[in-house]
């Protein structure tokens, strides 16, 4: 099953299930072009925290992540120290994974060494030309040559928790690729 009919009568990609927050995220965010260094740093960070978990877990915790990670402002996160790491490790409102917390801080430090707009330009440089819309969820890949290349470039620059699967999820969620399946109500206006 690739589509699901929502309580509002709209067809959506079936991964949404019957969760209201997932419906909102699917309709308002997923697949819409996202730009800006801060926004993409946040997306990179949250996708990194998601590794090994479900996205709905991260989505439900996102408000707290934003609160404790200073709105994902790279300059603020780059100043986090060991006391901040311990504070974050003690916060049940986020994913308490030391390696992911340290990676987020380290990644913020890298972003602060880049010119304004450079992270956005770098990440979007891997957005492929639009291809055929998937007709089923089975056609949606976990990785692509583009996500492999993005992952490799980010790793070479020193970024962590940026594997190809994680970067493909980022590409989907930030609109670099449009994987709304044929028949989804967002498939007709995914470029809005």
Q: Which of 25, 29, 73, 124 is catalytic?
A: 25
CATH superfamily of domain region 3-174? Hypothetical protein; domain 2 (1.10.340.30)
Instruction: Report the sign of the C-alpha dihedral through residues 159, 160, 163, 167, in that order.
Output: negative
Residue 1 pLDDT exceeds 90 = no
Clarify whether 25 is annotated catalytic.
yes
**Is the pLDDT at 93 greater than 70, yes or no?**
yes
Give the global pTM: 0.94
- How many other CB atoms are found less than 10 A from the CB of residue 105? 19
Token duo for residue 106: 């380290």
- pLDDT confidence bin for 109, thresholds 50/70/90: very high
Model confidence pLDDT, tens digit, residues 128-160: 999 899 999 999 999 999 999 999 999 999 999
- The pLDDT tens digits for 40-70 are 999 999 999 998 899 999 999 999 999 999 9
Residue whose pair of structure tokens reads 């995914």 in the numeric block: 190
Q: Where are the domains of the chain?
A: 3-174
Q: Residue 152: name the closest of 176, 131, 122 by CA.
A: 122
Catalytic residue among 22, 30, 42, 47: 47
| Cβ atoms of residues 160 and 107 within 8 Å | yes
């Amino acid at each position: 099953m690739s589509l699901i009919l929502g309580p509002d009568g709209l067809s959506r990609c079936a991964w949404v299930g019957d969760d209201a927050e997932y419906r909102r995220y699917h309709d308002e965010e997923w697949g819409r072009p996202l730009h800006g260094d801060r926004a993409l740093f946040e997306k990179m960070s949250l996708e990194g925290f998601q590794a090994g978990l479900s996205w709905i877990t991260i989505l439900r915790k996102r408000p707290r992540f934003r609160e404790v990670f200073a709105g994902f402002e790279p300059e603020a996160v780059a100043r986090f120290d060991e006391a901040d790491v311990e504070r974050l490790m003690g916060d049940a409102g986020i994913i308490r994974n030391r390696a992911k917390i340290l990676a987020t801080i380290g990644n913020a430090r890298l972003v602060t060494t880049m010119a304004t707009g450079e992270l956005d330009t770098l990440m979007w440089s891997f957005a492929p030309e639009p291809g055929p819309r998937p007709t089923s969820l089975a056609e949606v890949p976990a990785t692509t040559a583009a996500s492999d290349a993005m992952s490799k470039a980010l790793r070479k620059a020193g970024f962590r928790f940026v594997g190809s699967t994680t970067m493909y999820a980022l590409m989907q969620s930030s609109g670099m690729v449009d994987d709304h399946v044929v028949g989804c109500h967002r498939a007709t206006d995914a470029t809005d």
